[in-house]
Structure 1
């Protein structure tokens, strides 16, 4: 039984069809990449999974449909969404942003342990925990956004374009950290335009174009695909 099963997903914005037919699956502990150009439906896919937009088709998490679940209950089910653009509370400190990720949790000792995990994963955040989040660099803000999602202790972490607007040096650190999160047991579904970095870390990859799944396979299979090499890797 997959952790997440999406089949024949359809999403519309009014009369505009954003996703026509997308099917993916994520097994427990897997790191799955989703590639595609702007407008392919990648962000819409994550929004459908986190229930921030309505959708049709199969959308199951741990063998139960997500369709009846209200968006504010999705985190409680074990899915945390780190959105494109980070969406931090800019006037709050790094620490307050991280603590807000654990707002549903009651065990203070466990929350503190996960805060320590985030600081171990991103040491610079420990140094800057009292700093206003808006004063951080783009890469450091992305670390806060990922850390905030981890504070919800998800079984499935949704990452939307984590490399956008980040300096190359910090981009490498972000992708290395994503690998570590997966090694620690959290399943990850990452949407990206950086095909090279995604293929480096993902177990399997799906490619979306015009709201449809056009390719799927292991990272090695996708990297060896002539079409993918030409369009996405510049080979």
Structure 2
């Protein structure tokens, strides 16, 4: 059974259709990329999964329908969403932002242990633990955002544009960390515009165009696809 099963998903903003008949799957521990230009429906897709946006169609996690569930219930099931733009609490410290990711979990010992796992991925955060988030660089703030989502102990991590606006050196560090997260057993569904790095780290990729799945396949298959090479890789 797939960890996440989506069939015929549709979503809109008023009369504006954002997703139309989207179907995809994510297996346990799999790293799946969703590529597409601005306005393709990537953010809408992740919002529909995390139930911050209504949708129609089949949307099941571990065989359970997500329709009718509130966003906090979805987190409790094991889906954590790292949104576009990070959405951190800028005047709180790194520590407080990370702890807020674990608000549903009562065990302090487990929270501290998971914070150590975040530090293993992003060592600079240990040094910045008591620093106010607004004083960090954009890349370091993205480390905090991903770390905060991991503090919820997700079975499925949703990442929306984790590399946008990030310096190249830190962007590579972020993608390598995402690959390490998936290697640890956490499934990842990552929406991105950086096709080169997405194809480098993801096992499979879906391409969204105008709210529909235009192409799908393994990263190797899509890296050799003439349309992908021309439109997304510029070769």
TM-score (norm 1): 0.99
- CA distance in 2 between counterparts of 1:122 and 1:190 reads 19
Q: Kindly report which structure 2 residues correspond to 1:85-164, keeping only aligned pairs within 5 A, or say none.
A: 85-164=85-164
Give CA deviations for 1:187-226 in whole Å, capped at 9, x if unaligned.
0000000000000000000000000001110000011111
- CA distance in 2 between counterparts of 1:72 and 1:101 reads 12
- CA distance in 2 between counterparts of 1:187 and 1:5 reads 13
- CA distance in 1 between counterparts of 2:18 and 2:181 reads 30
Q: Kindly report which structure 2 residues correspond to 1:190-201, keeping only aligned pairs within 5 A, or say none.
A: 190-201=190-201
- CA distance in 2 between counterparts of 1:125 and 1:52 reads 29
* Equivalent residue number for residue 11 of structure 2: 11
- CA distance in 1 between counterparts of 2:12 and 2:173 reads 36
Give CA deviations for 1:4-33 in whole Å, capped at 9, x if unaligned.
011110001001101112111000000000
- CA distance in 1 between counterparts of 2:71 and 2:145 reads 19
Q: Kindly report which structure 2 residues correspond to 1:1-40, keeping only aligned pairs within 5 A, or say none.
A: 1-40=1-40
Correspondence 1:218 to 2:218: yes
Unaligned runs of 5+ in 2: none
Give CA deviations for 1:66-102 in whole Å, capped at 9, x if unaligned.
0021112110010000000000000000000000000
User: How many angstroms does 1:109 deviate by?
Assistant: 1.2
- CA distance in 2 between counterparts of 1:12 and 1:183 reads 34
Secondary structure of the residue aligned to 1:217 is: strand
- CA distance in 2 between counterparts of 1:113 and 1:185 reads 17
Secondary structure of the residue aligned to 1:67 is: coil
User: What is the count of residue pairs matched by the alignment?
Assistant: 235
Secondary structure of the residue aligned to 1:92 is: coil
* Equivalent residue number for residue 206 of structure 1: 206
* Equivalent residue number for residue 63 of structure 2: 63
Unaligned runs of 5+ in 1: none
* Equivalent residue number for residue 84 of structure 1: 84
User: How many angstroms does 1:120 deviate by?
Assistant: 1.1
User: How many angstroms does 1:161 deviate by?
Assistant: 0.2
Q: Over aligned residues, Cα RMSD in angstroms?
A: 0.5
- CA distance in 2 between counterparts of 1:78 and 1:110 reads 16
Give CA deviations for 1:37-61 in whole Å, capped at 9, x if unaligned.
1110000000000000000001000
Secondary structure of the residue aligned to 1:104 is: coil
